[in-house]
Chains A and B, each alone.
Chain A
Amino acid sequence: MSDLSDLYQEVILDHGRNPRNFRVMADATATAEGLNPLCGDRYGVFLRMDGDRIADVSFQGSGCAISKASASLMSQALKGKSAAEAEDLFQRFHKMVVEGDASQADGLGKLAVLKGVADFPTRVKCASLAWHALHAALRGESQPATTE
């Protein structure tokens, strides 16, 4: 049986209560919204790109401890990363939380605390919500670069 304390770890409770980078970014170069229509959780993710690097990242919105902590930890992990590195992080996180591949935790640093979410199928979407917004924001950002 999945244990509640695997889900609500101290780090998650802390980030849920005091989310980092929790603000609207006025000079964002890319933003996207993540919405879970089932529960109404909603976050905006803001990126300020400096060339290919994520110079700054923030988020704003409302949702549960899991979605908020995941967004908060994500924002910390992304600062200074290149778009490709961010994409790699997204893929790893997805594998760990959605597919339950615990081995991904090693490459995820602090984000590894969200590993336990995989055992709570009803909460997987909470943990991935901000990440989907990030993914959309990154894609939006790269659009002008694609040659058509």
Chain B
Amino acid sequence: MSFDVEAVRRQFPVLAQRPHGKRLAFLDSGATAQKPQVVIDAVTRFYDRDNSNVHRGVYDLAERATAAFEGARKRIARWIGADPREVIFTRGTTEGVNLVAQSWGRANVGPGDEILLTGMEHHSNIVPWQLLAAEKGAKLVVVPVDDQGAVHLADFERLIGPRTRIVAVTHVSNALGTVNPVKEIVRLAHARGVPVLVDGAQAVPHLRVDVRDLDADFYVFSGHKMFGPTGIGVLYGKAKLLEAMPPWQGGGDMILSVSFSGTKFNTIPHKFEAGTPDAAGAVGLGAAVDWLEGLDRAGAEAHERDLLAYATNRLQEIPGLRIIGTAPGKAAVISFVMEGVHPHDVGTILDHEGVAVRAGHHCAQPLMERFGVPATVRASMALYNTREDVDQLVQGLRRVREMFP
């Protein structure tokens, strides 16, 4: 089995279109990834053939829907090295963090306690903790980011103190591409009895993740960034922690029995899945996992490394371009600014060259502030990108320089 990028590309219908009459160079997979045909088909097939509400009916169709839904959970669990009971379906990363902050956080964080984050977190791994801190009189402590865009274990060592209740850290930075040493961070935190939540939104599309190997207590990610559907995501939590946590939302499916004098809650994972879930989304995510498992992942990772090195090199050709985020360990994400041109204008001009990039603060305003820029242009690559996409980007940036000399 070897990695054949052209064969991979053919599986993505979106990539064949020609925006503004140009070949599409889709370099915004960090925002959301495109979907292979097998994922689209799995969702369609669910509605065509298996649709009915899960965990409810006694008829054949309902049994099939439930089997498809729970089957997806099992496949996702195996893929990240977890037990299916530890895989909770959410709407995405954001909901996963909120669930932990509200359920685990409310039960375990009190006045004067500290929540340790890093300076490169996505807003969705900042604001839920801020809400909790405001409610409980706790405070956020922030691990600094260095000039290359890396965090240092020594700072974790220094900042994890007696009041630290949880460490919440991103595995891969969406704005810079930095891959954080989460395994070591977990080890440091555990040595002090502190659990760790890892935001894996940007990691799962690039790296093979084993939650047991990382020993993370919580690991959250979104389906849509890993070639699956929107509206579905996963919160992995260690069974022991999840069992001890109070429910978050109440409703159907999360109960064993209800009476007005009291309610018995369901076992995990159902305790945290109130209401009708996005079953089609879960099935689609299961299909995305199958699809990823069918690829030569080592080959794909080597391909992405090549793309990153190639793009990093070629961008140096553009006068006045500065890459933000130059840490040694990076996923295939490049953020940059250009002297004399605002990222927005870069984005519009690139769009006319068929190049889709993100221009903005990437939901990481504290990080932008850290680097003294209001925004950056971000080219985020996935395993379906090619050197041709990078060449098209460089060509587009030359055009930007012509217009903004």
Contacts and interface: CB of A to CB of B under 8 A. Distances in A.
A109 interface: no
A66 B349 contact: no
A63 interface: yes
B210 to A, nearest CB: 36
A16 B361 CA distance: 20
B348 A39 contact: no
A64 B352 contact: no
Contact of B21 (A1, A4, A42): A1
B361 A39 contact: yes
Interface in A42-101: 42, 62-68
Given A13-B403, A64-B342, A64-B344, A40 B349 contact: no
Given A4-B352, A7-B348, A40 B360 contact: yes
A8 interface: yes
Interface string B313-352: 0000000000000000000000000001111110011011
Given A1-B21, A40-B365, A122-B348, A62 B374 contact: yes
B359 interface: yes
B360 A123 contact: no
A120 B348 contact: yes
A62 B374 CA distance: 8
Interface in A1-60: 1, 4, 7-8, 13, 16-17, 38-42
B34 to A, nearest CB: 20
B65 interface: no
B403 A39 contact: no
B348 A123 contact: yes
A16 B349 CA distance: 15
Interface in B1-42: 20-21
A126 interface: yes
A17 B340 CA distance: 8
The number of chain B residues touching the other chain, given as a range, is 20 to 34
A120 B368 CA distance: 26
Contacts of A126: 344
Given A13-B403, A13-B404, A40 B361 contact: yes
A109 B368 CA distance: 37
A65 to B, nearest CB: 5
A126 B349 CA distance: 15
Contacts of A41: 344, 374
Contact of B341 (A1, A4, A65, A122): A65
A39 B375 contact: yes
Interface in B354-388: 359-361, 365, 368, 374-375
Given A4-B352, A39-B359, A41-B374, A123 B404 contact: no
Most B CB atoms within 10 A — which of A41, A64, A120? A64
Contacts of B365: 40
B358 to A, nearest CB: 10
Contacts of B359: 39
Contacts of B360: 38-40
Contacts of A120: 348
Interface in B138-167: none
B375 A8 contact: no
Interface in A116-135: 120, 122-123, 126
Contacts of B349: 4, 8
A17 B345 CA distance: 12
A102 B164 CA distance: 59
Chain A CB within 10 Å, residue with most, of B344, B349, B359, B403: B344
B375 A40 contact: yes
A66 B20 contact: no
Interface of A: 1, 4, 7-8, 13, 16-17, 38-42, 62-68, 120, 122-123, 126
Interface of B: 20-21, 340-345, 348-349, 351-352, 359-361, 365, 368, 374-375, 403-404
Given A41-B374, A65-B342, A67-B344, 20 more contacts: A4-B348, A4-B349, A4-B403, A8-B345, A16-B345, A39-B344, A39-B375, A40-B365, A40-B368, A41-B344, A42-B374, A62-B374, A64-B345, A65-B344, A65-B404, A66-B345, A68-B342, A120-B348, A122-B351, A123-B344
